[in-house]
């Protein structure tokens, strides 16, 4: 499924929305207490070419698309302030997750972004996606998140929500592996 461009009406509504949590940007440092914490990573390749390809794919929403999510975004690449609507599942039971990009990392050996949840997302919190090239040439992809249930349904499914988050995280990680 390709990336779709978000309607200007939805962009305006999501841009006006407030984050559903207070600790905006905290995936870049110490994770806040009172949330579930997740950090998973894996080696996805080696060398400058693997890093370049993975970085370009990540920033253009390919980790999400290749993981099987529908992605509608206000910009073709993740930029600070970009709003994105992620969704999964069949139409009558589709779960939607609106987010806004909080920060972008664009350094010679580290590339990625983090987004935070907006009203309507089943969870409340933030998730960061980073591709790094290490001194030995190894390229890793790391996902760091803090979250807690935000909707009655998410609270009701309890531990199942955590299992779903872990499954999606594994799909994201495999999506960029070369």
Domain boundaries, given as residue ranges, for the chain: 4-175
The Cα–Cα gap between 137 and 46 comes to 5
pLDDT tens for each residue of 134-153: 999 999 999 999 999 998 87
Q: Are 39 and 144 in contact (CB under 8 A)?
A: yes
The pLDDT value given to residue 21:
97
Mean pLDDT value of segment 102-131: 97
Which of 149, 178, 171, 73 is CA-nearest to residue 115? 73
Token output for 108: 């010679």
Taking the C-alpha atoms of 147, 76, 61 and 47 in order, what is their torsion angle to the nearest 10 degrees? -120
Query: Which of 99, 64, 106, 65 shows the shortest CA–CA distance to 82?
Result: 99
What residue spans of 21-158 are helical by DSSP H?
A: 48-59, 62-66, 152-157
pLDDT tier, 178 (very low <50, low <70, confident <90, very high otherwise): low
The answer to whether the CB of 86 falls within 8 A of the CB of 95 is no
Q: Model pTM greater than 0.85?
A: yes
Average pLDDT over residues 101-116: 98
* CATH class of the domain defined by 4-175: alpha beta
Our CA angle for 157, 174, 70, nearest 5°, is 60
């Amino acid at each position: 499924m390709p990336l779709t461009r978000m309607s200007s009406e939805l962009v305006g509504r999501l841009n006006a929305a407030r984050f559903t949590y207070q600790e905006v940007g905290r995936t870049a440092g110490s994770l806040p207490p009172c949330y579930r914490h997740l950090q998973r990573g894996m080696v996805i390749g080696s060398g400058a070419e693997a890093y370049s390809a993975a970085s370009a794919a990540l920033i253009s929403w390919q980790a999400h698309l290749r993981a099987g999510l529908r992605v509608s975004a206000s910009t073709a690449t993740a930029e600070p302030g970009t709003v994105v609507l992620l969704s999964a599942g069949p139409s009558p039971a589709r779960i939607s997750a609106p987010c806004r990009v909080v920060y972008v990392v664009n350094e010679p050996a580290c590339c990625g972004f983090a987004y935070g949840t907006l009203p309507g997302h089943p969870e409340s919190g933030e998730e960061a996606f980073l591709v790094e090239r290490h001194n030995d040439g190894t390229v890793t992809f790391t996902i760091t998140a803090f979250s807690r249930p935000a909707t009655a349904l998410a609270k009701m499914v309890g531990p199942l929500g955590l299992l779903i988050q872990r499954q999606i995280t594994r799909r994201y990680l495999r999506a960029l592996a070369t």
